[in-house]
Structure 1
């Protein structure tokens, strides 16, 4: 019973993070925050899975390192877009 709770809570939060990512398409910062939430839930599920199988946590630390690098890259893109366009609205700049 407790294992169902361990797996259901991160899955529900992952689906909610995906829903927030799909529905919030106005600001770049809100999309980056929802992406970080999704990555955090993936890390939580990976950590539960590795602990359940009694594996080492080296892969989860590597995953966490790459997610931090991804967050820093997203923030640098956000700062660059705010400096060039003045805001973080998706309607104000064209991607193509």
Structure 2
């Protein structure tokens, strides 16, 4: 039970980091991956406690990888067009 509390605390630390680092896209993507890892560990522990199948955890990982690839492609296109990942330097009119 202490392990669950540790990973829930890990999730909330990731949420705080995500909300504080909202200016840079790369730091937001890293904190989102941290959140995904903590959620995956919580899901895996929950499924192992109640002896459920782990098929859902595989589906969760597939969707998380797709989300990560989409975020990295947005980051690459942002850096190619504007030169950095700082949100406040973007001009939304062009």
TM > 0.5: yes
1:29 to 26, 30, 45: 26
The whole-number CA distance in structure 1 between the counterparts of 2:20 and 2:75 is 19
Instruction: Tell me the equivalent position of 2:68.
Output: 71
TM-score by length of 1: 0.91
Deviations 1:60-88 (A, max 9, x none): 01101110111111000000000111100
Give unmatched runs, 5+ long, in structure 1: none
Instruction: Tell me the equivalent position of 2:89.
Output: 92
Give unmatched runs, 5+ long, in structure 2: none
The whole-number CA distance in structure 1 between the counterparts of 2:7 and 2:55 is 21
2:6 to 9, 12, 19: 9
Instruction: Tell me the equivalent position of 2:16.
Output: 19
What number of residue pairs does the alignment pair up? 93
TM-score by length of 2: 0.93
Secondary structure, in 3 states, of the residue corresponding to 2:88?
coil
The whole-number CA distance in structure 1 between the counterparts of 2:11 and 2:42 is 9
Secondary structure, in 3 states, of the residue corresponding to 2:87?
coil
- Root-mean-square deviation (Å): 1.3
